[in-house]
Structure 1
Amino acid sequence: MMEEGEKQSSGGRWRCRWLVDVGRWRPSPAEFQAAAAVLPPHDRPAIHRFVREEDRKRALVSRLLQYSLVHHALGMPFHQIRINRTLEGKPYLQNKNVNLPGFNFNTSHQGEYVGIASEPLCLVGLDIVCISKPQRETALEFINNFTSYLTDHEWNCIVTADSHDGMLTEFYRYWCLKEAFVKATGAGVGFGLQRLEFHHINWTNISLCIDGEEARKWMFWLFKIDEMHLASIAKGHPEDAIDSFRRTLSDVVIQEGELHTAIEIPEEAFTLLTVEHLIQLHD
């Protein structure tokens, strides 16, 4: 699932899949401040608004990943990189690049991992979930809280799993895929997840129907990071980006053939990096 260090993918340096295990990063206060100092000054206060140390770590690593990826992909010094967010919370690069008109990226964090994915042409969405067992209710009671976000087909697939653990895993797979899609489009939490219905063959050949109609310009992949964490990648056509996000992309027309090829490129293993790797990229 994961490979140590950096590697080049078939999409070149612009197409990245990076993960950091924040659970293994236990910085001293001085080490934390040193890592935060790598970021531009205007991006540091957002990290310190979190009360819990684990949340501050995730926020810091998420931003380090964004700046490190843009630096790696486009060769920009950290102080020149301008990352902003749409009203819906979708991060985007303000710096325009005519050579990569569709360059976009997406971050996710849950449990022990923070990740980022980027694409030079097609939309990309990343979601990470931690398959945590509910403490005060059964698996079925827990999943029942989310019935309004699931279709009848998905619900039936979940509840017919062979165990409570199986039901939880099935639920999180569907949830992970739905989140990856809405994050790719920039829609965020405002999108009705019950409009999305996923189909699959043993969790390969995953397809999506939106309001009952097959989304032919999208492809999806699921990955097992470890026994407790899953990740999903969604790739699709820029025309499906919501307005606020589409306005952040270049107006340059991309050939349909190029887009189709970019969407269908098979997914490779994530690259597992450390915070030290990210700081070295800055150097």
Structure 2
Amino acid sequence: MPRRPALSLGRLAMDSVRWAFSYSAWAPCREDWLLAMRLIQPEEKERIEQFVFSRDAKAAMAGRLLIRKLIAEKLKIPWNEIWLQRTSKGKPVLANNLSSSSHSRFSFNVSHQGNYAVLAAEPDCQVGIDIMKTALPGSGSVPHFFHIMRRQFTEEEWRVITSMNNEWLQLDMFHRHWALKESFIKAIGVGIGFDLQRIEFHVSPLQLEVEKTYNETIMLLDGEQEKEWTFEAPYTTVTPPAFTKLTFHDLVASAVPLAAEDPACWDNFCSRQESPARQSSNPR
């Protein structure tokens, strides 16, 4: 996850925030799911209702609740007065008019994949986060998958990826590079139109120890090292290190409903399959 110090001075009265919620382990009861659907904006409720699989609906819901909890508790905006919008590139942003100029430097980002939804926030830095669970390609071989993704990485990055001892380790290194690129793109908010070959990561160390976080990786942008950015790379099989694991009741502790209960939401949720056919994977 990248962080870049803001150029202006001053600091919001909060520290860095790192939260994680295991949506894969969350089996909401009727009361909890109907409550969750009351705690988000109408357009997000509609979006979540459109997911084919309940696992994806839970992941998206967790992401929205993480953001709203953060803003309610750290910026002291009442939950039911928080208004979130998406930029033209799809990045969630706070639309409320903030009374303090220091709030304008406040940055947050969420990601969900595998088992966890995660949130990172900084008082005066741009921040982006991406989480990946190493998994075999949905179809085809690993070499074929790499061929399809060839244009997303530089020659040096591919050299490092394919230098690993076996295909699983190569996939692991692939996802490590991918998460780094995604986190940077999300931090600057430019979306999928950005040419990923403009950025090149020199990852360090090559071998990561489980449950440790590293920040030695450097990034080149258009061939020049970007020294203002810091990249944190945790590697885990459980809750990411340095992240506080939250329960559902933690997520909604400061919540105030935005709407009346809609019983049809529970029927819709129960009608979905949890997830598609499973792939072989290790958590990342």
* Fold conserved between structures, TM > 0.5: yes
Describe the superposition over 1:152-190 as per-residue Cα deviations: whole angstroms up to 9, x where unpaired.
Answer: 000011111111111011101100000000000001111
Q: Could you tell me which residue of structure 1 aligns to residue 231 of structure 2?
A: 220
2:222 counterpart of 1:273: no
RMSD: 2.0
Contact persistence 1:126–1:184 (CA under 8 A): yes
Q: Could you tell me which residue of structure 2 aligns to residue 39 of structure 1?
A: 40
Contact persistence 1:150–1:193 (CA under 8 A): yes
Which structure would you say has the larger RCO, counting Cα contacts within 8 Å and 6 or more residues apart?
A: 2
Larger deviation, residues 28-37 vs 102-111: 28-37
Counterpart-to-counterpart distance in 2, 1:200 and 1:37: 43
SS, match of residue 132 in structure 2: strand
What is the deviation of 1:25? 0.3
Counterpart-to-counterpart distance in 1, 2:132 and 2:255: 28
Q: Could you tell me which residue of structure 1 aligns to residue 201 of structure 2?
A: 198
Q: Could you tell me which residue of structure 2 aligns to residue 6 of structure 1?
A: none
2:67 counterpart of 1:66: yes
Counterpart-to-counterpart distance in 1, 2:39 and 2:91: 22
What is the deviation of 1:214? 1.0
What is the deviation of 1:197? 0.4
What is the deviation of 1:42? 5.1
Contact persistence 2:79–2:254 (CA under 8 A): no
SS, match of residue 252 in structure 2: helix
Q: Which segments of 5 or more consecutive residues in structure 2 lack a partner in the other structure?
A: 1-11, 207-213, 257-284
Counterpart-to-counterpart distance in 2, 1:221 and 1:20: 19
| Counterpart residue identity of residue 172, structure 2 | T
Counterpart-to-counterpart distance in 2, 1:140 and 1:224: 24
Going from structure 1 to structure 2, the CA distance change for 1:52 and 1:160 (only over 3 Å counts) comes to same
Q: Could you tell me which residue of structure 2 aligns to residue 253 of structure 1?
A: none
What is the deviation of 1:16? 0.9
Contact persistence 1:14–1:74 (CA under 8 A): no
Q: Could you tell me which residue of structure 2 aligns to residue 282 of structure 1?
A: 255
Larger deviation, residues 44-53 vs 186-195: 44-53
Q: Could you tell me which residue of structure 2 aligns to residue 89 of structure 1?
A: 90
| Counterpart residue identity of residue 34, structure 1 | L
2:189 counterpart of 1:178: no
Larger deviation, residues 134-143 vs 111-120: 134-143
Describe the superposition over 1:122-150 as per-residue Cα deviations: whole angstroms up to 9, x where unpaired.
Answer: 10000011101125433222222211011
| Counterpart residue identity of residue 54, structure 2 | E
Of Structure 1 and Structure 2, which has the larger fraction of its residues in strand?
1
Counterpart-to-counterpart distance in 1, 2:27 and 2:163: 41
| Counterpart residue identity of residue 170, structure 2 | M
Describe the superposition over 1:64-105 as per-residue Cα deviations: whole angstroms up to 9, x where unpaired.
Answer: 111001111111111111111110011111222423230111
1:110 to 109, 113, 116: 113
SS, match of residue 217 in structure 2: strand
TM-score by length of 2: 0.77
Counterpart-to-counterpart distance in 2, 1:140 and 1:276: 44
Larger deviation, residues 86-95 vs 21-30: 21-30
What is the deviation of 1:15? 2.1
Counterpart-to-counterpart distance in 1, 2:55 and 2:43: 21
Counterpart-to-counterpart distance in 2, 1:150 and 1:66: 31
| Counterpart residue identity of residue 151, structure 2 | S
Number of residue-to-residue matches in the alignment: 235
2:220 to 185, 205, 209: 209
Percentage identity across paired residues of the two chains:
34
Describe the superposition over 1:35-88 as per-residue Cα deviations: whole angstroms up to 9, x where unpaired.
Answer: 221234454222212222111111111111110011111111111111111100
| Counterpart residue identity of residue 28, structure 2 | P
SS, match of residue 208 in structure 1: strand
Q: Could you tell me which residue of structure 2 aligns to residue 138 of structure 1?
A: 141
Going from structure 1 to structure 2, the CA distance change for 1:23 and 1:12 (only over 3 Å counts) comes to farther
